[in-house]
Amino acid sequence: PALLDMAAIRAQFPILGQRVRGRPLAYLDSAASTQKPTAVIDAMADYYRGQHANIHRGAYQLSQMATRLYEEARERVARFLNAADPVECIFTRGTTESINLVAASWGAANLSPGDEIILSVLEHHSNIVPWQMIAQRTGARIRVIPINDEGELQLDAYHRLLSPRTRIVAVNHVSNALGTINPVAEMVVAAHAVGAVVLVDGAQWVAHGHTDVQSLDADFYAFSGHKLYGPTGIGVLYGKRALLEAMPPYQGGGDMIERVTFVETTYAGLPNRFEAGTPHIAGAVGLSAAIEWIEEIGLEAIAAHEDRLLVYATDRLSAIRGLDIKGQARRKAAVISWVAVDPPIATLDMGVQLDLEGICVRTGHHCCQPLMDRLGVASTARASFGLYNTFDEVDRLATALTAIFERARDRSPAGPDPDGVS
Ligand code: PMP
């Protein structure tokens, strides 16, 4: 794939030009949320300036235009995911709402006492808690796929967990805390062999590689617009048509009905039946612009750039004595997570000191407390990359971290490093 023109790309992200604490901003937190290119910002501003009205049922031209933009966004999402039909793409607030929709609606209709839901240790809380809530209501049980010390799912254990009691497997495509890319295609085949359906949490994948829900054969696929260079407040739930059509509504309200009386209400077809109320129309417009923009640059070129950054960052951070990288899976995407073991430095402290240099990383449990428990740490510090990040930013991170470790060593009770080679 072609090398990215970094100057041209960065020029399209107004936020990246600013200085923080007198230093150029080094934004290394794209796994939490990506920044937005002007193409997205302008598309949303243009929509509000000249095209906004509520969608559906408007007799007038402006409403029809807004409806068309909203439905064109759905078509673009469908092409992006290679969904068979745009009605299989439901707009939600984000990954969290997409998973809650499936857990509440599909779960209520399909789970009974003794049924099993398979999750993994790598899951984000948003792919754990909704399942616990529906398990409590239905009497279903949660089983958990373990990981090895590199942060990879243990597939032999997964195969042993699968049984005729398995109703659904819900796993992330990429771990937000460690960056592990999971072998979801293989996992789907195995789940289908026992008659289970699969939900893939694609929040951390879609910005880093092609997604083809048909070749993956995923039953449900969820992602958030804001991690894909699009706006917050909009996301997608892809679901196979037959599954979605058989599911009861999630929320009730306007726009999701066919006919309402006080005796009985009948529901609209897909996708409206799962989109109660006025949706985030400008969000859909912005997401559509983000997808168009990414496709112009090319996901292969983006992934190749991020892989080079990840290899470089892994080399640089591995060279810092006392720094322990968590999760060295063979296949990783755009995330590097670490802790300071010698001397021990609180991850929050590292984050605060990096911030003084204008470097943004995330510290904490990354909404993955069960994973932190498995790793035996309370938290990690995490740098994550987007297409706008540079080797220079990785150098700044490594240099700043080296200095943080040196200062901590000087302060540690043992005094300065006896070898003098920190
Ligand atoms: N799953 C994963 C793997 C994530 O990284 C995130 C966001 N950190 C989510 C789910 C939740 O996404 P959102 O907050 O956009 O709903």
* pLDDT tens for each residue of 236-262: 999 999 999 999 999 999 989 999 999
Task: State which ligand 1 atom lies nearest to the alpha carbon of 201.
Answer: 1
Residue nearest to atom 6 of ligand 1 (CA): 203
Mean pLDDT of 322-330: 97
Is residue 343 within 8 A of residue 390, CB to CB? The reply is: no
* Model pLDDT, residue 58: 85
On average, the pLDDT of the chain sits at 96
Residue nearest to atom 8 of ligand 1 (CA): 32
Confidence of residue 414 (pLDDT cuts 50, 70, 90): low
Longest dimension (CA), the chain: 82
This prediction has a pTM of 0.97
Mean pLDDT of 260-276: 95
40-296: same fold as 6-30+298-411? no
Structure tokens given for 368? 């993955």
Residue nearest to atom 12 of ligand 1 (CA): 95
Q: Ligand 1 mean position to 221 CA, how many Å?
A: 13
The catalytic residue positions are: 367
Mean pLDDT of 313-335: 97
Q: Ligand 1 mean position to 126 CA, how many Å?
A: 7
Task: State which ligand 1 atom lies nearest to the alpha carbon of 232.
Answer: 15
Mean pLDDT of 170-182: 98
Choose the residue to mutate in 33, 96, 205 for probing ligand 1, maximizing ligand atoms within 8 Å of C-beta.
Answer: 96
Q: Ligand 1 mean position to 34 CA, how many Å?
A: 12
Does the structure show a pLDDT above 90 at 4? Answer: yes
Residue 268 has, within 13 A of its CA and on its CB side, a CA count of 18
Write down the architecture of domain 40-296 according to CATH.
3-Layer(aba) Sandwich (3.40)
Out of 197-211, 225-239, 254-268, 390-404, which region has the weakest mean confidence (pLDDT)? 254-268
Choose the residue to mutate in 362, 367, 369, 384 for probing ligand 1, maximizing ligand atoms within 8 Å of C-beta.
Answer: 367
Task: State which ligand 1 atom lies nearest to the alpha carbon of 96.
Answer: 16
Query: What is the C-alpha separation between 322 and 316, in angstroms, rounded?
Result: 13
pLDDT tens, 5-39?
A: 999 999 999 999 999 999 999 999 999 999 999 99
Percent of the chain with pLDDT over 90: 95
Confidence of residue 421 (pLDDT cuts 50, 70, 90): very low
* Model pLDDT, residue 420: 45
Q: Ligand 1 mean position to 299 CA, how many Å?
A: 20
Q: Ligand 1 mean position to 258 CA, how many Å?
A: 33
Mean pLDDT of 340-347: 96
Q: How many CB atoms lie within 10 A of CB 395?
A: 14
Among 3.90.1150.10, 3.30.565.10, 2.40.50.140, 3.40.50.300, name the CATH number for the domain at 6-30+298-411. 3.90.1150.10
Environment class of residue 22 by beta-carbon count within 10 Å: exposed (0-12), middle (13-18) or buried (19+)? Answer: exposed
pLDDT tens, 116-167?
A: 999 999 999 999 999 999 999 999 999 999 999 999 999 999 999 999 999 9
Closest among 112, 100, 170 to 138, alpha carbons compared: 112
The full set of domain ranges for the chain reads 6-30+298-411, 40-296
The question of ipTM being above 0.95 is answered as yes
CA distances from 387 to 13, 19, 30, 309 (A): 11, 20, 9, 10
Confidence of residue 416 (pLDDT cuts 50, 70, 90): low
Task: State which ligand 1 atom lies nearest to the alpha carbon of 224.
Answer: 15
* Model pLDDT, residue 422: 40
Choose the residue to mutate in 123, 131, 204 for probing ligand 1, maximizing ligand atoms within 8 Å of C-beta.
Answer: 204
Mean pLDDT of 188-207: 98
Q: Ligand 1 mean position to 197 CA, how many Å?
A: 21
CA angle 407, 408, 411 (to 5 degrees): 90
Task: State which ligand 1 atom lies nearest to the alpha carbon of 97.
Answer: 16
Tell me if residue 77 falls in helix, strand or coil: helix
360 CB contacts (<8 Å, ≥6 apart)?
20, 25, 26, 27, 28, 29, 354
Pocket-forming residues, ligand 1, beta carbon under 6 Å: 94-96, 124, 126-127, 172, 176, 201, 203-204, 224, 367
